[in-house]
Amino acid sequence: MHEPPKTDFQPRWYRNATAEVRNALADFSGSGSKPLNWPRIVTRILPSSGSSSLAARTVSEVIDLTQKLAHFAAYDAVRGLNPDFADMRSMGADVLSFSRLTIEPFEEGSFVIPARFESADFIPVEPNAKELEAGNITPEAISAESIASRFGSILDEIATGGATHTISTGALQTVQQLNRALKREVVAIEFATFDRREQQSSYRSIDHEFIERVDRVIQQRRPSNDQLESVEGTVTALDIEQGELRLSIRGQKQRVRGNFHTMLHPTLLESLGKRIRLFGSLSYKRDSMVSIQIQQAEVFDTE
């Protein structure tokens, strides 16, 4: 690279300055100050085996654990070092808020998360193995492209009021859980899908109006149209196999027994140890709530 020529140029104000001013400038090491920036933690994940991609679950777990480690570091900084401390629940809302990480957007005004399916075509196992061996049945391979296609159609059917009866309850409840982000700090969550030919679908926006549509579809699937009662508490035991849970309610010593249908699995799988609002038919004994037949559940945001 060409080096620029050096000169002994001096501006007029310096040439006309007094000896006192020149001596003062000679002793001055610099001017101004460095601009302040947010303190930050930069996480770099290096995939193994030379891969250039990661599973979505791995990325989310790393982000979650980075936040937890930041919480414990904040506890040390605020409360002092304590090697026996392990219960983050007793850390205090002020320390948790103090140490909350924010992930910067990749582009101004949005947070883009590109993800792709890299699986080979899936060949289903036919129930009649003898016919399969005899060559009478040739199972059709299913491309991962069909996943992207179905993903888009689920959102399209909800948005347009199409064949929502074909959408699984688990898929509906998963979309419903995006409402936590919408309630917190997100205006909308947009999805678009691409096929193997790089053909892009139009963006489908999930906002509060979209979530209301999902709520109505789920409401129509309730096994009963009876007026539901509600109760709030913390799930302290959960048995997905038996469809039972135990709910601790503030001000009541005895835990409440809850029974739920398999359609609530997606929501209740994440409820253990969290505050939750349950809707259903309540049973009492001696003015104390003893059980609830759960028909609907809402897990509160952890923040």
What is the Cα 233 distance to its own chain's centre?
A: 23
Task: Answer yes or no: is pLDDT of 262 > 80.
Answer: no
Q: Of 162-176, 211-225, 268-282, which gets the smallest average pLDDT?
A: 211-225
Residue among 112, 111, 269 at smallest CA distance from 185: 111
Structural tokens at position 146: 């069909």
Arithmetic mean of pLDDT, 172-183: 85
Task: Answer yes or no: is pLDDT of 33 > 50.
Answer: yes
CA dist., res. 168 & res. 176, Å (int): 12
> DSSP class of residue 280?
E
Task: Answer yes or no: is pLDDT of 302 > 70.
Answer: no
Structural tokens at position 182: 């919408």
CA dist., res. 151 & res. 146, Å (int): 8
What lies within 8 Å, CB to CB, of 107 at 6+ separation is none
CA dist., res. 37 & res. 34, Å (int): 9
Q: pLDDT tier at 184 (50, 70, 90 boundaries)?
A: confident
What is the Cα 10 distance to its own chain's centre?
A: 59
Q: pLDDT tier at 8 (50, 70, 90 boundaries)?
A: low
Q: pLDDT tier at 210 (50, 70, 90 boundaries)?
A: very high
